[in-house]
A = this chain, B = another copy of it.
Amino acid sequence: MHSFELFLPTRLVYGSDSIEKLPAAAAGCGKKVLIAYGGGSVKKTGLLDRVKKALADFEIVEFAGIEPNPRVTSVNAAAKLCREQNVNFVVAVGGGSVMDAAKAICAGARYEGDAWDLVRDSSLIKSALPLFTVLTNAATGSEYDAAGVITNLETNEKLPIVSPLLFPVASFCDPAVSVSVPAWHTAAGAADIMSHTFEQYLVMEGNDVSDGFCETILKTVIKNTPICIKDPANIEARAAMMLASSFGCCGLLAIGNTPSPWPCHGIEHEISAWHDITHGAGLAIITPHWMRYSLNEKTAPRFAKYAVNVWGMDASLDEMTLANAAIDKTAEFFASIGIPMHLRDVGVDESHFEAMADHIPTCWWPLSGALHPIDKAGVIEILKASL
């Protein structure tokens, strides 16, 4: 077992009554709140009104229009608004993009310069506004971690911002809110949850507890995603997906495991930075190709374990057969929930592959530490196979 630290100070509040608990949780933070959200969906569904009603005793400032792959320009604008308006705390209402942006806004509100500085060097984050989140979509797990991912279209970079100061104080998760999430975002969210799990599970060494937790998340998503797509109002399936999402990124799935550099996320962020594609779709497209790149005699036992414990395959088969079958099943699953199988299907061509592969080592954990080490040629090989 590898050494690890698990630190999860966010209060996770689940249930149909969760949002109504927000004002009590925010008591003591001050009177002025910035509510941050994305497009119009939280208006259409009535969620924004519900949150504003819950916060009726506070002075509300709104910031709308946070993009998917949220941009540092929006972060800077919202952070400036917080400073000008003397905002005391932030409530993010949305999915991963809104929560991620809100983390950067909370840090940026306490920093006079460009928030991109804080993305580039998290040691500059000395303070942050308290953050609360109201979750709309099962996907990134940002409701229960201390990280966000911010895009800079000027530099073609999509990079994480990470600091223990960015844990939400509390996250409010009502699975019923997610019934309005359309099939595409449901599927992309599912792929994101599965990718988070693969990044932590498909490493050289796991253990009985972390492996069982990872397999639980994978089986939950594989079972419930098709239900959510076919029957969007199925609350039990939506609830299972939301729970799975909350534990995907918080470190619980990696306890004691070989540390992972999260290779698929490192590669996908490059693709999104250049092409602004849906993160989960990008992950789903490259994941099977990363798996095939990583499969060899040394790594086959991990894939075989995945085959037996997640896909229920026959443990008496040889490991390489199991491993290949599980990778095929993974690709088939992503296709079955409506995700394109090729990068070209989402508008990506190979023109920036070299630049992407060159950029990863400047901003990401070394991919030499992946299940099977990945060098620059390896990144390009995975990207080309995904094309």
Interface residues of A (CB under 8 A from B): 1-9, 11-18, 175, 207-210, 212-213, 215-217, 219-220, 223-224, 235-236, 239-240, 243-244, 247, 252, 255-256
Q: How far is the CA of A6 from the CA of B207 in the complex (A)?
A: 24
B3 to A207, Cβ gap below 8 A? no
State in angstroms the CA–CA spacing of A350 and B255 once bound together: 45
In the complex, what's the smallest C-beta–C-beta distance from A164 to chain B, in angstroms?
10
Residue with the greatest number of chain B CB neighbours at <10 A, chosen from A6, A215, A235:
A6
Selected contact of A220 from candidates B212, B220, B223, B224, CB within 8 Å: B212
Chain B contacts of A235 at CB under 8 A? 1
Complex-state Cα separation, A219 to B215, whole angstroms: 13
9 closest A-B pairs by beta carbon, nearest first, are A3-B15, A212-B216, A1-B239, A208-B220, A209-B243, A6-B12, A208-B240, A7-B11, A9-B9
Other-chain residue from B2, B15, B219 in contact with A2 (beta carbon distance below 8 A)? B15
Given A3-B16, A5-B13, A5-B14, list of 7 further CB < 8 A pairs? A3-B18, A4-B14, A7-B12, A14-B255, A207-B240, A208-B223, A243-B255
Q: Which residues of B contact A255 (CB under 8 A)?
A: 14, 243
Tell me, in angstroms, the Cα distance from A373 to B235 when the chains sit together.
28
Contact yes or no, A256 B14, CB < 8 A: yes
In the complex, what residues of B have CB within 8 A of residue A247's CB?
209
The 25 sampled A-B contact pairs (Cβ below 8 Å) are A1-B14, A1-B175, A1-B235, A1-B240, A3-B17, A6-B11, A7-B11, A8-B9, A207-B239, A207-B240, A207-B243, A208-B223, A208-B224, A209-B216, A209-B217, A209-B240, A209-B244, A209-B247, A212-B217, A212-B219, A213-B213, A215-B216, A216-B216, A239-B256, A252-B252
